[in-house]
Amino acid sequence: MAEEGENEGLKETEEEEELITLEIEDHEFSELTLPYSLIGLETDTPILKLGNKVYQGQYQYVVGTHLFFDQSQGPNGVSTSYAGKTQKKIVFKPIWLQPKEKE
């Protein structure tokens, strides 16, 4: 049997889910299956790599509220259910990366 206070130093890790809208400037979505990488969401300027292009983001508040819905196919057709809301978005603008100069 564990002594009281034996597990005091252990911390439980809680994951927090937050929905957010991504707005990508100067991008045509002709191909919806592009590979992507999204890093630095906890920073003020997250980075998105979408295909061969790189974007830097900035958090902004939206006017009003953006709503999110889940869709699923059921026996009676498509079913839609409320998934969440947000008042934040990340606006991504294209950036061009240059190799670091060797010293």
**70 class by beta-carbon count within 10 Å (0-12 exposed, 13-18 middle, 19+ buried):** exposed
User: What pLDDT sits at residue 1?
Assistant: 45
Sheet strand arrangement including 47-50: 21-24, 77-95, 53-74, 47-50, 36-39
User: What pLDDT sits at residue 75?
Assistant: 85
- The DSSP annotation for 50-73 comes to ETTEEEEEEEEEEEEEEEEEEEEE
- Asked whether the whole model's pTM tops 0.75, one would answer no
Mean pLDDT of 81-94: 94
DSSP annotation of 82: E
pLDDT digits (tens, 9 = 90+) for 12-37: 667 778 889 999 988 666 656 778 89
Q: Which amino acid is at 64?
A: G
